[in-house]
Amino acid sequence: MKRRDFIYLTGMGTAATLIPGIPVVGRPIDPMQLLESIDLALKKRMADVALNAARSKGATYTDVRIGRYLNQFVITREDKVQNIVNTESYGMGIRVIANGSWGFAATDKLDNDNIAKTAELAVSIAKENSRLLTEPVQLAPQKGHGEVSWKAPIEKNAFEVPIKEKVDLLLSVNDAAMKAGADYVNSLLFMVNEQKYFASTDGSYIDQDIHRMWPVFFITTIDKATGKFETRNSLSAPVGMGYEYLNARPQDKIQGVTTLYRGRYDMLEDAKAGGAQTKEKLKAKSVEAGKYDLILDPSHLWLTIHESTGHPSELDRVLGYEANFAGTSFLTLDKWKSKNFNYGSKLVNIVADKTQVGSLGAVGYDDEGVKCGRWDIIKDGILVNYQAIRDQAHILGLNASQGCCYADNWSSVQFQRMPNISLQPGKEKKSVDDLIKGVEKGIYIVGDGSFSIDQQRYNFQFGGQLFYEIKNGKITGMLRDVAYQSNTQEFWNSCVGIADESDYRLGGSFFDGKGQPSQSSAVSHGSSTARFNGVNVINTSRKIG
Amino acid sequence: MTLLTKDEAFALLKKVLAYSKADECEVNLSGTNNSNIRYARNAVSTSGSVSQFQLVVQSAFGKKSGVATINEFDDASLEKVVRRSEELAQLAPENPEYVSILGPQKYAEAITFVPATAAITPKMRADAVAQSLQTAKESKAVAAGFLEDSNGFSALMNSKGLFAYNTSTNTNFSITVRTEDGKGSGYATRGYNDVTKLDTKLATKIAADKAVKSAAAKAIEPGKYTVILEPAAAAVLLERIFFGLDARQADEGRSFLSLPGGKTRLGEKLVDERVNIYSDPLNPELPTSTWNGDGRPQEKISWIEKGVVKNLSYSRYWAEKKGVKPVPGPDAAIMEGGTKSIEELIAGTKKGVLVTRLWYIRDVDPQSLLLTGLTRDGTFYIENGKIQYPIKNFRFNESPVIMLNNLEELGKPERTVSVESNANYLLPPMKIRDFTFSSLSDAV
């Protein structure tokens, strides 16, 4: 599913036509089929057909991905169920190296004859493209894992929860928001199960079961007299969890100027707060443009990390493979080689981690059979590493891939995608109140909003959901029309405080787009609340007509 | 995969409907072949081909509907998919916004299919890329590009006797050329139904030329500038207006087209009176399907005429509720222009900025349609009718509605592709005064 398809489906964008249409990914199925899986022995037999066929046509390396991708959406607005959709996408993608070049072909007809033909097609594409190569593909060595499996450690499979329970939850969420003052509410539960099987000529046969979910709502409230409207989106995070995410316990809630959630989420409570907060936003003071010290909550900061650290440290961007679309990166290899490129202040430690429990990026093995791990990207403010896959590892002098390969479907070719990239908590004991206390003129920002960054990841602009003015160490009230602009290196060097581990939380994106044709991946970003000094804030209020 | 002819599609859909026991049944049949080749660092990187064939059945009992899909077409499978959609409909909650399916409609014959595009081979794709790579290498520059093409058919039939059929082809090409030292970057994009119109060599030459000329850019102060937006740059801003033409959002008070007291800007002057925007499925430069997904005819329709909002789009439910004609949203948009080339627009500009491409466009405020994003791949300073020097990229904060009120001049329209949505449009280059650049970017 691409970001724009999701927008179409849910009416989140400007288009916001709220058409309860059929999703364009996968084929609709009976909800009971969401609980089925494909026989492991059958997957191994089909994979061997592809591996053997490609080898016999001259492939020097082959990997096969058999994927069953399951989605369930429950979509409502106000007191209506708009749509309930269950989809399945099932097929096989075959990637080969022949004549030193990559080739890829995919099919959803999984009889032996067609699998062999698809493998042959992948080999012939590789051979055709080899004349346009400048150097042959060089793969980092990878030992075969034999027959292994990995399952996401979820407590409750969301697909096992009856649809009625989900519908009742969303309608009660909408009702709570409306009673608190909202004029319109859209709410949605989005559940994903990726049943992925990987096999390669290295001797790996890897079966994985991955679960993700995202409960989300969008509230709009209108001032009838002026026609002015304000919105507030849910403060939930998309997560690599089961339905237990929606069962928030008292210890999962952080009380403050607004309630925040750690690891579990109370959708009903947040909707009630959201309804009231849209009314408060309508009456809030419009921000005065200028320099402010920003206190950024993890529900907001994840997106800044994603855009300004995650994307520029992708090695394929650094090398120029994304130049035509997503862009390149300012974190060039010479900066890494110098071992002294000052990306951020000494407090800034950023790690890549594909093993973090409950995160969107957690898997046992990536989509080229590499066991996943954790490594530093920024250490004490200095750039020390990137995100790489097997055909890039040699460029960094590594003798193994970092396991960052991913394809969003069996029909898409796998390529380098972002692992979870997270800011490490402060080492000294420090609370959010401690951070706010020291600020003379500042803004506390909660939730993610508008986001935009240039193609080399220097200049960015971010909005948010809730903005609170800080004066002389105290929160004095709500602001609106706030966005901040900065330069990545300048911003991370202005980081003067990070709350300790007790405040650490995950945010994330369900729809990180990259590549041509565009592919979506899901990725988490963790942090504790952090302070950034002297950031340029603009006022976004304009009038038309 | 071979596309089904109109007769073959008719026969298959008829057979599917014969299995239906629901109050209403609608069946959509489609097949597409998508192929692409991608390159970077002056060499091919990935390439792929995917064929998909799909039959979607929607059955309804009263206001309860269910959908099921299949890609196998033997009699048993066809009956199974119909039964499954009926079972799902029986299980579904009632949808108060369900609208009964349409009866037979009249459609004009579409002109969206070009046999030459449907006949592209992997070798032709590789040859087109080889030409592009050769051109970049001759300029001592580095190319990254993407060529994709598709051909497909779609057909719709329902239990009230509606039948629609269409075939189409498309090809999109985009190319970014960078100087070897990474100090200059240029871009070009092309979209056609007919691949014989695509000249990858010429497009690459334009991008390479911009790359070379944009190296060693100077920084100028952010602020309000007169800009000349090339069609590819204008597309990503104007499409936010096209996407926002929905009447329901406007009526509900949560759109830039809403006014206080439940009123909308329909019939009101929104932008400069020289702005005329319409859609026309039979435009030879930008043909689209003559019917939309729920079977409504797509006809030539004016959206903004002489600066006035002339029409809004409606779902069938909302049109019924409002008692108006259910005009579907456009599949593509066309903006009228003048006769001048970009060079002629530059020649008539005292001071200004030429913008090749805008990037990472996001809504900042839905009420004013304020957008943010950045210039990219060729930004130049104009003085006294001439390009003087390349300038560093800017972030902008601007609303396309405000922008079309600050219109200075329109050039000759051409077909272009949105880098954000991949949609094709027919748009003029445009000169705009007081365009708001809010900060500088170091990105090349």
Q: Mean pLDDT in chain B?
A: 96
pLDDT score of B378 = 97
Q: Which residues of B touch A132 (CB under 8 A)?
A: 39, 43-44, 126, 129-130, 133
**Final residue belonging to a domain, choices A261, A283, A305:** A283
Closest to A95 (Cα-Cα) out of A135, A52, A65, A116: A65
pLDDT score of A26 = 61
| Whether B90 contacts chain A with CB within 8 A | no
**Please, which residues bridge with residue A80 across strands?**
A77
- Tokens representing residue A397 in the block: 């002098």
pLDDT score of A86 = 79
Quote the DSSP letter at residue A329. Answer: -
DSSP assignment of A438-475, as one string?
A: T-SEEEEEEEEEEEEE-TTS-EEEEEEEEEEEEETTEE
- Let me know if residue A545 belongs to a domain: no
User: What is the number of other CB atoms lying within 10 angstroms of the CB of residue A40?
Assistant: 13
Once rounded to an integer, what is the mean pLDDT over residues A424-450?
Answer: 97
DSSP assignment of B207-240, as one string?
A: HHHHHHHHSSPBP---EEEEEEE-HHHHHHHHHH
Residues 390-449 of A with CB under 8 A from B: 411, 413, 415
pLDDT score of A389 = 98
Q: Which residues of B touch A228 (CB under 8 A)?
A: 367
- Let me know if residue A290 belongs to a domain: yes
How does pLDDT run across A459-471, given as a tens digit for each residue?
999 999 999 999 9
Residues 46-85 of B with CB under 8 A from A: 46-50, 52, 54, 56, 67-71, 84
State the Cα–Cα distance between residues A302 and A524, nearest whole angstrom.
8
- Tokens representing residue B71 in the block: 């890609």
Closest to A332 (Cα-Cα) out of A528, A503, A108, A489: A489
Q: What residue numbers bound the domain in which A58 lies?
A: 3-283
| Whether A340 contacts chain B with CB within 8 A | no
| Whether A22 contacts chain B with CB within 8 A | yes
Whether A277 and A291 map to the same domain: the answer is: no
Residues 126-155 of B with CB under 8 A from A: 126, 129-130, 133, 142, 144-146, 148
- Give Cβ neighbours of residue A8 (< 8 Å, ≥ 6 apart): A15, A19, A21, A24
| Whether A357 contacts chain B with CB within 8 A | no
pLDDT score of A23 = 36
Burial degree of B281 (CB within 10 A; 0-12, 13-18, 19+):
buried
- Let me know if residue A544 belongs to a domain: no
Reported CATH class of domain B6-211: alpha beta
Q: Which residues of B touch A327 (CB under 8 A)?
A: 359, 376, 443
pLDDT score of A250 = 97
Contact A81 B93 (CB under 8 A): yes
pLDDT score of B221 = 98
Once rounded to an integer, what is the mean pLDDT over residues A366-371?
Answer: 98
Look at residue B95 and give its three-state secondary structure.
Answer: coil
Burial degree of B196 (CB within 10 A; 0-12, 13-18, 19+):
exposed
State yes or no: pLDDT of A291 exceeds 60: yes
Contact A330 B38 (CB under 8 A): no
**Final residue belonging to a domain, choices A283, A300, A328:** A283
Q: How far is CA B131 from the centre of its chain?
A: 27
How does pLDDT run across B174-189, given as a tens digit for each residue?
999 999 999 999 999 9
pLDDT below 70 — which residues of chain B? none
Whether A447 and A481 map to the same domain: the answer is: yes
Whether A351 and A433 map to the same domain: the answer is: yes
Whether A279 and A309 map to the same domain: the answer is: no
Q: To probe the interface with A, which of B372, B398, B418, B444 has the most A CB atoms within 10 Å?
A: B372
Whether A265 and A341 map to the same domain: the answer is: no
Whether A305 and A270 map to the same domain: the answer is: no
- Give Cβ neighbours of residue A202 (< 8 Å, ≥ 6 apart): A61, A142, A143, A144, A369
pLDDT score of A28 = 65
Look at residue B318 and give its three-state secondary structure.
Answer: helix
Rg (CA), chain B: 24
| Whether B102 contacts chain A with CB within 8 A | no
Task: Give the total number of structural domains in chain A.
Answer: 2
Q: To probe the interface with A, which of B28, B36, B44 has the most A CB atoms within 10 Å?
A: B44
* Overall size of chain B counted in residues: 444
Q: How far off is chain B from A183, nearest CA to CA, in Å?
A: 9
Q: Is B369 left (phi over 0), alpha (psi -120 to 50) or beta?
A: left
Domain with CATH 3.30.2290.10 in chain B: 6-211
pLDDT score of B72 = 77
pLDDT score of A19 = 30
Q: Is B156 left (phi over 0), alpha (psi -120 to 50) or beta?
A: beta
Q: Which residues of B touch A322 (CB under 8 A)?
A: 40, 144
State yes or no: pLDDT of A18 exceeds 50: no
Whether A209 and A163 map to the same domain: the answer is: yes
Beta A285-286 vs A474-480: how paired, if at all? parallel
Look at residue B386 and give its three-state secondary structure.
Answer: strand
Closest to A541 (Cα-Cα) out of A306, A308, A293, A282: A282
ipTM exceeds 0.85, yes or no: yes
**Final residue belonging to a domain, choices A283, A298, A329:** A283
Q: Are A137 and A97 in contact (CB under 8 A)?
A: yes
- Let me know if residue A211 belongs to a domain: yes
Global model pTM greater than 0.90 = yes
Q: Mean pLDDT in chain A?
A: 93
- Let me know if residue A157 belongs to a domain: yes
Interface A-B, measured as beta-carbon pairs within 8 A, has a size of 250
Once rounded to an integer, what is the mean pLDDT over residues A362-370?
Answer: 98
| Whether A183 contacts chain B with CB within 8 A | yes
Q: Which residues of A touch B243 (CB under 8 A)?
A: 13-15
3-state helix, strand, coil split of chain B in percent (to 5) is: 25, 40, 35
How does pLDDT run across A192-244, given as a tens digit for each residue?
999 999 999 999 999 999 999 999 999 999 999 999 999 999 999 999 999 99
B34, B249, B399 member nearest A542 (Cβ): B399
A105, A451, A540 member nearest B48 (Cβ): A105
Give the CA distances from residue B122 to residues A113, B131, B206, B285, in Å, rounded to whole numbers and listed in that order.
22, 14, 25, 26
How does pLDDT run across A451-507, given as a tens digit for each residue?
999 999 999 999 999 999 999 999 999 999 999 999 999 999 999 999 999 999 999
Which secondary structure element, helix H or strand E, spans residue A149, and what is its range?
A: strand A146-151
Whether A257 and A403 map to the same domain: the answer is: no
State yes or no: pLDDT of A532 exceeds 80: yes
| Whether B180 contacts chain A with CB within 8 A | no
Beta A204-222 vs A146-151: how paired, if at all? parallel
| Whether A32 contacts chain B with CB within 8 A | no
State yes or no: pLDDT of A20 exceeds 50: no
User: What is the number of other CB atoms lying within 10 angstroms of the CB of residue A156?
Assistant: 15
Whether A253 and A399 map to the same domain: the answer is: no
Query: Dihedral, CA atoms, A248, A249, A254, A257, nearest 10 degrees?
Result: 70
pLDDT score of B197 = 97
CATH classification at residue A238: 3.30.2290.10
Q: Which residues of A touch B129 (CB under 8 A)?
A: 132
